[in-house]
Amino acid sequence: MSLRETNRSMRLRRTGLIPSDTRVRHYDELDEEAQATVRELAGRPQTAPEADDLDDGDVVKFTDYYEVRAR
Amino acid sequence: MSDSYVIIGDGIAGASAAETLREEAPDAEITVLTDEGESLYNRILIKEYAKGKLPEAPISIHQESWYDDHDVDLRLNTVVVDIDVENDAVHTHEGETFEYDSLLLAVGGTPQQLPVGNADAEGIHHFWTFQDARNIKESVEDAERAVIVGAGLLGIDFAAICGAQDVEAKYLMRGDNWWRYALSEEGAEIMHEAMRERGVEPVFDSGVDRFEVDDDGHVEAAVDPNGERYECDFAGVAIGLNFNTELVEDTPIETEDGIVVDEFMRTNVDNVYAAGDITTFNDLILGERAKNGSWGSAKEQGTIAARNMLDYGSDEFEWVSSYSITHFDFPFLSFGHPTLGDDSVEATTAEGEWRRVALKDGKVVGGVLIGDLSPQSAFKQLMREGRDVTGQEDLLMEPGFSVDDLAAATEQQ
Ligand SMILES: Cc1cc2nc3c(=O)[nH]c(=O)nc-3n(C[C@H](O)[C@H](O)[C@H](O)COP(=O)(O)OP(=O)(O)OC[C@H]3O[C@@H](n4cnc5c(N)ncnc54)[C@H](O)[C@@H]3O)c2cc1C
């Protein structure tokens, strides 16, 4: 069984400050599903089903730095 | 006795191979040799460090403890100087010998120097390693004026670094637009405008004829072929890579702008494989030999190579590469082989949004998206499926394009 909860949704929150212990992912490192989610959510106040390749607290470098919030 | 695997290079290709080998062969002896002084880090984030946007720590991917925990023998600062394929051994600069049952060459490339006077002067930077990024950051923080050379995907990183560090820069380009092999002037102008907004001025039909240095040997100007002189205290040069094939020069391993491998990442020597930027591989999608230079592709090739080192023929590399630019407030993505093909279609789809698709024999082989990346997955799918889009090219330029928009007749030929 996967450890991941399957019914969480995620959103992206723009962030400027990146603490040293953060996992930072570049858009090009993500799988296609996670890339599509990032494209959809970046800069928009929306949620989408959580992408497998991203975790709560990750920061994604896309057109800005975005913190992943998964609930 | 368990099989022994030697991997040269601890970039993403070598490291993903080590990970896969360990996962799929718990008893294998795995040795990773790297000439760098640090273990796997995120090469595609070092530009963010140089821009001053990221601290060092998140850039590391494998701490040295990872190798201990996974029983991988990591040797830092170890240059492999010779490969002896007859005796299945590699030799290092310090005279050490490592024998292998199977060898992986994941050695990437080295940035080219400009073939002009003073090209190695102090203050002139090339960009490949984390150490380069540290040097660039230090140098650019003290700089007021910069010159950038190399109108491609790595050159624009220098432009973004200068922009982020408030350094006024002249970006000297040979043609009349940035990345002219993949973009027309119309698309490139969106990129030029973004550079200008950050204090980086594109200079066309230019380039570097020579650098001038001060009494301490530090760069002080670049002179272009038209005789124009651009003062600078920092120069960033990104004109391409020399692939690190010298290592196999005296071996029977075939090279052609890299190390030639089949779709299983195997060279013409049975127990020698290659992965990542170094390969010239049999591209199953394109139907000919090709090269990729991107993180995702290098990682996948490392994984595929490892599987085939364990069981030849078990997994093939079939992948559409992509590479984004995320320095601006709009995204940019190149996919596949945007500089190849015998035809292309392009369009401005909305203000600040532009796309170009390269075609060969009626099939998509690559392209560039600016502003709107939404058709990225659809274009990659068309490539993977080998769809012939002859007569329907205009549909590819529709803002909300989806694969379903194409007539059923174009399904895999
Ligand atoms: C500044 C920069 C920005 C980039 N941005 C992006 C991006 O946004 N998106 C993207 O997809 N790609 C990007 N790339 C490209 C991407 O990083 C590469 O395609 C990828 O990292 C290649 O991985 P690799 O493992 O094949 O080679 P490398 O990472 O180059 O690893 C090869 C390793 O082998 C070592 N080596 C070579 N010869 C020897 C020897 N004789 N003995 C021992 N060790 C040796 C080298 O030192 C090196 O550590 C960028 C590259 C750079 C430099």
Q: Which atom of ligand 1 is nearest to the CA of B302?
A: 25
Predicted pLDDT at B313 = 98
pTM for the full model?
Answer: 0.97
Name the β-bridge partners of B110: B242
Per-residue tokens: B170: 């002249």
* Whole-angstrom distance, CA of residue B73 vs CA of residue B66: 10
The Å distance, Cα B122 to ligand 1 centre, comes to: 24
CA distance B154 to B173: 13
Task: Select from B218, B237, B256 the last residue of a domain.
Answer: B237
Tally DSSP H helices, then E strands, for chain A. Answer: 1, 5
**Residue range B231-259: average pLDDT?**
97
Predicted confidence at residue B120, as pLDDT, reads 96
Select the residue of B57, B295, B328 nearest A20 (Cβ to Cβ). B57
Domain co-membership, B102 together with B246: yes
Domain boundaries, chain A: 9-70
Does B39 lie in the same domain as B96?
A: yes
pLDDT at position B4? 98
Q: Give the domain CATH number at B349.
A: 3.30.390.30
- Answer whether residue B114 is part of any domain: no
Under the banding of pLDDT at 50, 70 and 90, the label for residue A2 is very low
Chain A interface residues facing chain B, Cβ-Cβ under 8 Å? 18, 20-24, 26-29, 32, 35-36, 39, 59, 61-65
- Residue B202: inside a domain, yes or no? yes
C-beta contacts of B89-92 below 8 A and 24+ residues apart: B90/B6, B90/B8, B90/B33, B92/B33
Tens-place pLDDT, residues B369-408: 999 999 999 999 999 999 999 999 999 999 999 999 998 6
For a pLDDT cut of 90, what percent of chain B falls above it? 98
Domain-located, residue B385: yes
pLDDT of residue B2: 75
Whether residues B184 and B261 fall in one domain: no
Partner-chain contact A63 B329, CB within 8 Å: yes
Provide mean pLDDT across the span B161-188: 97
Answer yes or no: do B35 and B98 share one domain. Answer: yes
Testing ligand 1's pocket by substitution, the residue of B107, B137, B241 carrying the most ligand atoms inside 8 A of its CB is: B107
- Could you give the CA distance from residue A34 to residue B304 in angstroms, rounded to a whole number? 22
Instruction: Say if residue B12 is in the same domain as residue B98.
Output: yes
The set of protein residues with a Cβ atom below 6 angstroms from ligand 1 is: A 28; B 8-14, 33-36, 43-44, 46-47, 79-80, 106-108, 127-128, 154, 157, 244, 247, 276-277, 293-296, 298, 323-324
What is the rounded distance in angstroms from the CA atom of residue B355 to the CA atom of residue B343? 14
| B104, pLDDT greater than 50 | yes
> Is the alpha carbon torsion for A14, A19, A25, A26 positive or negative?
positive
Structure tokens, B61: 């991917």
Tell which residue, B100, B12, B102, has the closest CA to residue B308: B102
Q: Considering the domain boundaries, does residue B141 fall inside one?
A: yes
What mean pLDDT comes out for the span A46-57?
95
In a domain, B318, yes or no: no
One domain for residues B149 and B292? no
Give residue B235 CA to ligand 1 midpoint distance, Å.
21
Confidence class of residue B117 from pLDDT cuts 50, 70 and 90?
Answer: very high
How high is the pLDDT of residue B1? Answer: 59
**Pick from B48, B330, B377: which is nearest to A61 by CB?**
B48
Q: What is the 3-state secondary structure of chain B?
A: CCCEEEEECCCHHHHHHHHHHHHHCCCCEEEEECCCCCCCECHHHHHHHHCCCCCCHHHECCCHHHHHHCCEEEECCCCEEEEECCCCEEEECCCCEEECCEEEECCCEEECCCCCECCCCECEECCCCHHHHHHHHHHHHCCCEEEEECCCCCHHHHHHHHHHCCCEEEEECCCCCCCCCCCCHHHHHHHHHHHHHCCEEEECCCCCCEEEECCCCEEEEEECCCCCEEECCEEEECCCEEECCHHHCCCCCCECCCEEECCCCECCCCCEEECCCCEEEEECCCCEEECCCCHHHHHHHHHHHHHHHHCCCCCCCCCCCEEEECCCCCCEEEEECCCCCCEEEEEEEECCEEEEEEEECCEEEEEEEECCCCCHHHHHHHHHHCCECCCCHHHHHCCCCCHHHCCHHHCCC
pLDDT at residue B339 greater than cutoff 90: yes
Q: Residues 7..66 of B with a Cβ closer than 8 Å to A: which?
A: 42, 44-45, 48, 53-59
Q: How far is B86 from chain A (nearest CA, A)?
A: 38
Same domain, B228 and B163: yes
The secondary structure of residue A66, as a DSSP letter, is E
Q: Which atom of ligand 1 is nearest the CA belonging to B92?
A: 42
Taking residues B193-204, report their average pLDDT.
98
Mean pLDDT of the B141-167 span: 97
pLDDT-derived band of residue A17, with 50, 70 and 90 as boundaries?
confident
Q: State the average pLDDT over residues B227-249.
A: 97
Is A24 in contact with B42 (Cβ distance < 8 A)? yes
Question: Helix, strand, or coil here: A12?
Answer: strand
pLDDT at res. A3: 53
The atom of ligand 1 lying closest to the CA of B129 is: 53
Q: How far is CA B57 from CA A19, B69, B114, B270, B311, in A?
A: 9, 20, 32, 39, 37
Q: From CA A17, how far away is CA B110, in angstroms rounded?
A: 33
Do B105 and B248 share a structural domain?
yes
Instruction: Kindly give the interhelix angle for B155-164 and B185-197, rounded to the nearest 10 degrees.
Output: 30
Q: The domain spanning residue B218 has which CATH number? A: 3.50.50.60
For residue B326, give the nearest of A24, A59, A61 by CB distance: A61
Q: Band of the pLDDT at B303, cuts 50, 70, 90?
A: very high
Residue B239 pLDDT greater than 80, yes or no: yes
In the reported structure, the alpha carbon of residue B168 is separated from the centroid of ligand 1 by a whole-number distance in angstroms of 28
One domain for residues B83 and B155: no
In a domain, B118, yes or no: no
- Rounded (10°) angle between helices B12-24 and B295-310: 40
pLDDT over 50 at A1, yes or no: no
B337 and B290 co-located in one domain: no
Q: Which two tokens stand for residue A5?
A: 């909860």
Domain that holds residue B21: 4-109+242-310
Q: Select from B54, B324, B330 the Cβ nearest to the Cβ of A24.
A: B54
Mutation for testing the B interface, residue in A26, A41, A53, A58 having most B CBs under 10 Å: A26
Backbone angles phi, psi at B105, to 5 degrees: -100, 105
Residue B276: name the closest of B102, B106, B42, B45 by CA.
B106
List of residues 6+ apart from B4 with CB closer than 8 A: B28, B29, B30, B31, B99, B100, B101, B102
For all residues of chain B together, what is the average pLDDT? 97
Residue range B77-100, pLDDT digits in tens = 999 999 999 999 999 999 999 999
The tens digit of pLDDT for each residue in B210-226 reads: 999 999 999 999 999 99
Q: How far is CA B411 from the centre of its chain?
A: 32
Shared domain for B105 and B248, answered yes or no, is yes
Cβ–Cβ below 8 Å for A29 and B57: no
Question: Pick from B237, B257, B279: which residue ends a domain?
Answer: B237
Has residue A5 got a pLDDT over 70?
Answer: no
User: Best mutation site among B6, B39, B44 for ligand 1, i.e. most ligand atoms within 8 A of its Cβ?
Assistant: B44
Whether B322 is covered by a domain: the verdict is no
Do B104 and B305 form a contact (C-beta atoms < 8 A)?
yes
Residue A4 confidence (pLDDT)? 57
Distance B129 CA to ligand 1 centre (A): 8
Considering its fold, how many domains does chain B have in total? 3
Q: Which of B7, B16, B34 to probe ligand 1 with, by most ligand atoms within 8 A of CB?
A: B34
